[in-house]
């Protein structure tokens, strides 16, 4: 890449999972809206046809009347072609198919175990991790061989173990994981400020927060607006809406949208622990004992939903149809800001300013009472060719008790996946707080779930 004044050109981005019909379109839109960057995006996907469609969609944006920059999109056949000479690598894949995810999420329901997402923790998150980790070992080794100096941005879940695997396989890798869950909590704090004090903050970034925890189980122990402590305001807000929930102008939306909630899980965790839980309710609930996920009736009482994989399958059909319409020019591509910060991070790493945002990185002491080397989520400072994690402090002991259990389970899952050790993997599986069934039933469930994903577990004794 080259720096010319306040612009950086000839940037080379390798996109692993480049046939994506979600994240990839967000990236295309954000890149086209950024006038200071330009270059080439190489799209690699095991679904070559999907990557080829995205090549056509991406290149069509050169003629979009609202495009502020020019990018070339090229679908490639191999990881080597994608990675050679890359400045940045983006990883956004679905580990397996929705058939495997259907087993992850819904097979445990036969034993009374309910999961609202099933991609990070719980039985589903564990089994998803087992099939994801070998893929990320392959990615790390390929990056080491063909793009060792590239910055690697991961969007794939389970986020913590994806990033952890990259560093386990290639310790010198320059990788970090991005998640937008904290952004939603900043928006909620904006709403609290407006509702309680009548003060309208501009952008969510005006709400300054200290992020501490692990992905999808992040917490805020400090939050300010123009130097003003927001915790007393948030407490009044929680007290006001604890029973009814808060959705702003979308009252009752959680009943019709599998991804929405009324924030009651967040409010309850704040009342329990005195610090702000900073992820969506669907994710937060899965990290706790089945306080919120005991059964579908309990889930409804907390005003969020269980996302069925059947919905994801139907939505995939709709996105494929949209992809065809975009390729054929039957539907215009809408250029809009996605709300993600990947392009802002790329700008900062290229030397175009500085950015502070939350990312997932190995713990080098930024969370004082979690083990060194495990992947944690805190703020970090992005600047020219540099990502420096911010010292976030320590988790309160009672919150640490919840978080630490998952940290150990994730480390155990990593070892089990690398060793292809079913007994070791079961220890993590059975130790998850959602697995409240007998050991015998847990073994039956575990074996059935592994059989349903055995295509992605070569070498395992299944």
What is the four-CA torsion angle of 290, 292, 295, 297, rounded to 10 degrees? Answer: 160
Which residues is 380 bridged to in the sheet? 357, 389
Q: State the residue for tokens 């990312």.
A: 359
The sign of the CA dihedral 382, 386, 391, 397 is: positive
The b/e string for 156-191 (b: 16+ C-beta within 10 A; e otherwise) is: bbbbbbbbbbbbbbbeebbbbbbbebbbbbbbbbbb
322 three-state secondary structure: helix
Half-sphere exposure of 147 (CA within 13 A, CB side): 26
The one catalytic residue among 180, 203, 283, 384:
180
| Separate counts of helices (H) and strands (E) for the chain | 16, 14
For 316, list phi and psi in degrees, rounded to 5.
Answer: -60, -40
Give the count of beta carbons closer than 10 Å to the beta carbon of residue 77.
Answer: 10
Q: Give me the count of residues in the chain.
A: 462
Cβ proximity of 86 and 12 under 8 Å: yes
Residue 283 is labelled as binding a ligand: no
Which of 92, 115, 83 lies closest to 28, judged by CA?
A: 92
Residue 179 is labelled as binding a ligand: yes
106 is catalytic: no
Q: What residues are designated binding site for Mn(2+)?
A: 179, 216
Q: What residues are designated binding site?
A: 157, 179, 216
Q: What residues are designated binding site for substrate?
A: 157
Residues assigned a catalytic role: 180
């Amino acid at each position: 890449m080259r720096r010319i004044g306040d612009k950086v050109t000839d940037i080379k981005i390798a996109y692993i999972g480049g046939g994506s019909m979600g994240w990839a379109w967000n990236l295309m839109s954000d890149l086209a809206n950024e006038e200071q960057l330009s270059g080439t995006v190489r799209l690699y996907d095991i679904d070559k046809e999907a990557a080829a469609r995205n090549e056509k969609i991406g290149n069509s944006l050169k003629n979009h009347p609202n495009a502020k920059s020019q990018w070339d999109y090229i679908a490639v056949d191999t990881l080597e072609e994608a990675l050679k000479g890359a400045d940045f690598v983006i990883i956004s894949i679905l580990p397996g198919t929705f058939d495997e995810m259907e087993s992850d999420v819904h097979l445990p329901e036969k034993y009374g175990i309910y999961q609202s997402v099933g991609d990070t923790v719980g039985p589903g998150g564990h089994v998803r991790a087992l099939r994801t980790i070998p893929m990320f070992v392959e990615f790390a080794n390929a990056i080491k061989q063909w793009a060792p100096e590239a910055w690697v941005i991961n969007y794939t879940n389970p986020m913590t173990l994806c990033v952890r695997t990259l560093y386990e396989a290639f310790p010198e890798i320059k990788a970090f994981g991005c998640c937008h869950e904290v952004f939603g909590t900043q928006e909620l704090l904006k709403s609290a400020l407006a509702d309680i004090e009548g003060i309208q903050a501009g952008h969510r970034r005006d709400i300054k927060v200290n992020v501490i925890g692990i992905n999808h189980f992040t917490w805020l122990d400090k939050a300010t607006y123009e130097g003003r402590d927001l915790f007393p305001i948030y407490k009044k807000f929680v007290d006001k809406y604890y029973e009814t929930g808060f959705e702003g102008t979308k009252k009752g939306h959680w009943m019709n949208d599998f991804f929405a909630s009324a924030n009651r899980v967040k409010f309850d965790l704040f009342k329990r622990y005195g610090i702000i839980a900073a992820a969506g309710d669907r994710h937060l609930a899965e990290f706790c004992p089945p306080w919120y996920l005991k059964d579908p009736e309990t889930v409804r009482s907390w005003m969020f939903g269980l996302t069925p994989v059947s919905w994801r399958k139907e939505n995939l059909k709709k996105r494929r149809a949209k992809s065809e319409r975009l390729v054929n020019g039957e539907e215009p591509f809408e250029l809009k800001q996605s709300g993600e910060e990947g392009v802002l991070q790329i700008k900062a790493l290229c030397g175009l300013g500085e950015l502070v945002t939350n990312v997932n990185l190995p713990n080098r002491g930024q969370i004082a009472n979690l083990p060194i080397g495990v992947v944690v989520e805190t703020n970090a400072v992005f600047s020219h060719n540099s990502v420096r994690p911010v010292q976030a402090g320590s988790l309160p002991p009672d919150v640490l008790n919840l978080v630490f259990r998952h940290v150990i389970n994730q480390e155990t899952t990593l070892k089990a996946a690398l060793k292809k050790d079913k007994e070791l993997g079961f220890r993590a599986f059975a130790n998850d707080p959602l697995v409240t069934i007998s050991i015998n039933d847990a073994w039956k469930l575990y074996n059935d779930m592994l059989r349903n994903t055995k295509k992605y577990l070569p070498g395992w004794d299944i």
